[in-house]
Structure 1
Amino acid sequence: MSSNRFRGGPNKGGPRRQENNRIYRYPLPLIFSDSPPSRVRSILGLLGLSLNQVLNPNCEGYYDVSTRSVWIVTQRDSEILWRRGFFGKGNLSRSEPSWFVRQMKDRKSKGSMTSEEVREKRRADRKQFKLDRAAAIAKVAAEAETIFETEGRVVVPALFGPEIPSGATWKPSTVEPEADAGLEQEQSGDAKDTETKEEPEEEPLEDMEHLQLTLQEAFFLAWNLDCLSILDPDTDEPLSLSEIWMTFQQVYLAPPIPNSPPPELQFDNPFLVHYAAYHHYRSLGWVVKSGLKFCVDYLLYKRGPVFTHAEFAIVVCPVYEDPQDQEISTTQLQNSSPFTWSWLGTINRANSQVMKTLILAYVTIPARSRVSRSVLNSPACFAHYSVREVIVRRFIPARMRD
């Protein structure tokens, strides 16, 4: 028996899902094309080389010190990074940068719904369904009380039936307000008067939103994919990879004291620890997004937030290879010390309620006695970091008896 019978087949979701498959068909900003010119194809074929071409979008972004992020200000680059891998988030939106589309829709009162509007409509319909069901149950209960008072018969109010709406039968109802005749005549008269007047032209709407990348996302795009150039906001000049590397580390260090050497780089720098976890899951094919909403560090999606909800919630737990390094460290790493069972139970329950599996990602920080501090001058230092995972599941006796 085919499994598509239970999953709804390959076309589950209708036209909207098919449109999403078309828009978000590329998992990364880089595109591999297999259509080089015929002469080049023949030469590469004789040499036994790959016939694929790598199409690099070459996006640009500005580094912002105050927010510790990289801003993508052009619409073209924002669409590429979001649609090819779901990198970043709109600073005026919850995920997809859709502020400009929402504003234009409000002006024209037409157009396709954004993902945020679809979610809000679904929540409003769910709330209205609960109100309608509660009202129907209260009506049936009132009728049963009336029968008992008048006829003396005991009628058990039904919780199911044709009079009680269910999730399969309920449909949202659109109630239009009634207008009296006088108001309609007045409006029709005003409409005739305004027909002769010219409508004022609306001012062009400027897109005020930008795509905001975390430092981990920006460095992954710049270092691993080489598809992002990070510009200095003061000079508009692109930063070199070594400058990006040092800048992203120094932003987490203590501010330098005047007339003193800059602070030394640390193995337990928060940027290094969280990037090690981010790179680990991105290299395995997961879409990694911020998990701040669910009190975790990261959320893992199979394809992206447009298709399904996140399946796993990641909490990054730094572990020092040498415990003495933690005692002398000046960096206060979150979750580096053992946390309480009440905290773990709270986080686990909060994520299990939204159908997410909690994973503790232990990032091992190399010992200073084993590794020289000079390796921190390049990304090659990540060879000394390791990531181990522990899955935490909440035991629910009523669901796990089988």
Structure 2
Amino acid sequence: MSLINPSNRSKGPHKGFSKRTENNRIYAHPLPLVLFTPPDPSPLQRALGLVGISSTQVLNPHCEGVFDAATRSVWVDKHGGAMVLWQRGFFGKGDLSRSEPSWLARQINARKMAGKGLTSEEVTAKRRAERKQFKLDRARAMAAAAAEAEVAFAEGRVVSPGYAPDGTRIIPSAATWKPSLSTAAEQAPPTPDDAPEEGEEGDGEEEPLEDLEHLQLTLQEAFFLLWNLDCLTVLSPDTHEPLTLPQIWDTFQNAHHPPHLSALPPAPSPSPSPLPSIPPSPSPAPALRRFDNPFLVNYVVYHHYRSLGWVVKNGIKFCVDYLLYKRGPVFHHAEFAIVVCPVYEDPADQASSPFELQNATPFTWSWLSTINRVNSQVQKTLILTYITIPAHSRLSPDVLSSPACFAHYSVREVVLRRFIPTRMRD
């Protein structure tokens, strides 16, 4: 039973009405359901529509991605369904973007003279440039006001600090400051070198841009898509042939092997299990069968919150493991910050483990206070998610031959709130 439920949380701040309406249209159908309406319905379908029977079909899209061992991720290009995965559940991130794969849109905007239709990355860059210019203008005005006050003091005059003799404010405030025309011109999108100047005819049409961006899925996202939603096929990086589920199961675990573990013992043969298991199949490399494999531990947390309806994204920006969004990054800010805390059922397993799991050992109070303060400042609730790792002495290694081993993990949650005396006196 989870301590948090997305249905009982209050709504966050909304963007403009037109933007919100457009987002509701684009991100209306999360995976695995995609509604498809035939462009040219037949006479029978039109007749059924008159009596209230829709011709819309429910389809399960299927995307393709290539496993990349260097980055421990699965790469999906535009033709493989990158935008489908992003718009149907906010899976992955653009390798050349902050989140949404918008590299091509930014390049197109750079070619436009007007610079309209800025992407999220461009809006952030513009806002940071304006904030930097405001601080410079304010510092310059404060220095001028201080010099004027010293001169007035030497002459015996009385002046109001920060105000001109006519009563106008010299030092700008964040509420009234406006960027100057020169500053706005510097923040405008750059014009390409090959673009013709004003009044000069171009030699021809501009060369079309090639989309060089890929959608980068974490191993947890990729396995959730292919095992739970059946919406993804992972291809081998060498042969570009589809990998079977047993091969993916071993490959994703091998991606977290320490470098010194080059020679691995052969994987044990699977035994009958009361839960659904994967049929035996040759694996590209034998996997190190351990319950504390980082892929398994992090996937348990990812699956836990995804199954509760949360959009789970990486939280390294706020010094945590995951961030939980109610609907997605384009609708609301993240409401919860998750720190994964592995707990060994048998301490002997931790002593013999080749993996160094973060937060598996007791952390300091100064570290916890720092993480809690960082997330409290951005209005996120910190949650310590404890994952109990089953003991090897209690279970057979054969359990690890399939995803049926996830049934032996347990999840506990502890919600932390930072005490602020000025706000919590009651």
Tell me whether the two structures share a fold, i.e. TM-score over 0.5: yes
1:20 equivalenced with 2:23 (yes/no): yes
1-side partners of 2:302 and 2:357: how far apart?
16
Among candidates 132, 135, 148, match of residue 130 of structure 1? 135
1:339 equivalenced with 2:342 (yes/no): no
Q: Which runs of 5+ in 1 are unaligned?
A: 1-6, 42-50, 179-189
1:348 equivalenced with 2:353 (yes/no): no
Report which stretch shifted further, 74-83 or 89-98: 74-83
1-side partners of 2:325 and 2:198: how far apart?
52
2-side partners of 1:385 and 1:157: how far apart?
65
2-side partners of 1:325 and 1:84: how far apart?
40
| 2:244 partner letter | S
Larger % of helix: which? 1
Among candidates 223, 229, 248, match of residue 225 of structure 1? 229
- Give the drift of 1:320: 0.9
The RMSD of aligned alpha carbons is 3.5
1:309 alignment partner in structure 2 = 333
1-side partners of 2:81 and 2:390: how far apart?
37
1:394 alignment partner in structure 2 = 418
Residues 1:159 and 1:282: Cα distance change in structure 2 (over 3 Å): farther
Residues 1:191 and 1:330: Cα distance change in structure 2 (over 3 Å): closer
- TM-score normalised by structure 2 residue count: 0.77
Among candidates 83, 88, 92, match of residue 87 of structure 2? 83
1-side partners of 2:251 and 2:26: how far apart?
34
| 1:87 partner letter | F
1-side partners of 2:56 and 2:413: how far apart?
35
1:60 alignment partner in structure 2 = 64
- Residue 389 of structure 1 aligns to a residue whose secondary structure is strand
1:30 alignment partner in structure 2 = 33
1:280 alignment partner in structure 2 = 304
1:290 alignment partner in structure 2 = 314
Does structure 2 conserve the Cα–Cα contact (< 8 Å) formed by 1:34 and 1:53?
yes
2-side partners of 1:147 and 1:133: how far apart?
21
1:171 alignment partner in structure 2 = 178
1:290-344 per-residue CA deviation (whole Å, 9 max, x = no partner) reads 1122221111112222223222221111101122222222222221111122222
- Residue 175 of structure 1 aligns to a residue whose secondary structure is helix
Among candidates 326, 341, 347, match of residue 323 of structure 1? 347
2-side partners of 1:220 and 1:337: how far apart?
28
- Give the drift of 1:87: 0.7
1:379 equivalenced with 2:403 (yes/no): yes
Does structure 1 conserve the Cα–Cα contact (< 8 Å) formed by 2:29 and 2:35?
no
Number of residue pairs the alignment of both structures matches:
372
| 1:175 partner letter | S
Residues 1:400 and 1:11: Cα distance change in structure 2 (over 3 Å): closer
1:110-143 per-residue CA deviation (whole Å, 9 max, x = no partner) reads 4411111111222222333334444445555555
| 1:171 partner letter | K
Among candidates 250, 253, 257, match of residue 257 of structure 2? 253
- Give the drift of 1:268: 0.7
1-side partners of 2:423 and 2:254: how far apart?
49
| 1:126 partner letter | R
2-side partners of 1:94 and 1:269: how far apart?
28
1:112 equivalenced with 2:117 (yes/no): yes
The percentage of counterpart residues that share the same residue type is 65
- Residue 280 of structure 1 aligns to a residue whose secondary structure is helix
1:4 alignment partner in structure 2 = none
Q: Which runs of 5+ in 2 are unaligned?
A: 1-9, 49-54, 186-196, 268-285
2-side partners of 1:313 and 1:201: how far apart?
48
Does structure 1 conserve the Cα–Cα contact (< 8 Å) formed by 2:64 and 2:80?
no
- Residue 385 of structure 2 aligns to a residue whose secondary structure is strand
- Give the drift of 1:259: 9.3
1:102 equivalenced with 2:109 (yes/no): no
Residues 1:165 and 1:72: Cα distance change in structure 2 (over 3 Å): same
- TM-score normalised by structure 1 residue count: 0.81
Aligned counterparts, 1:186-201, within 5 A: 194-195=200-201, 199=203, 201=205
1-side partners of 2:198 and 2:290: how far apart?
71
- Residue 66 of structure 1 aligns to a residue whose secondary structure is coil
- Give the drift of 1:146: 4.4
2:239 alignment partner in structure 1 = 235
1-side partners of 2:391 and 2:217: how far apart?
31
2:271 alignment partner in structure 1 = none
Residues 1:247 and 1:258: Cα distance change in structure 2 (over 3 Å): closer
Residues 1:242 and 1:38: Cα distance change in structure 2 (over 3 Å): farther
| 1:224 partner letter | N
2-side partners of 1:11 and 1:64: how far apart?
37
1-side partners of 2:61 and 2:30: how far apart?
14
Does structure 2 conserve the Cα–Cα contact (< 8 Å) formed by 1:312 and 1:356?
yes
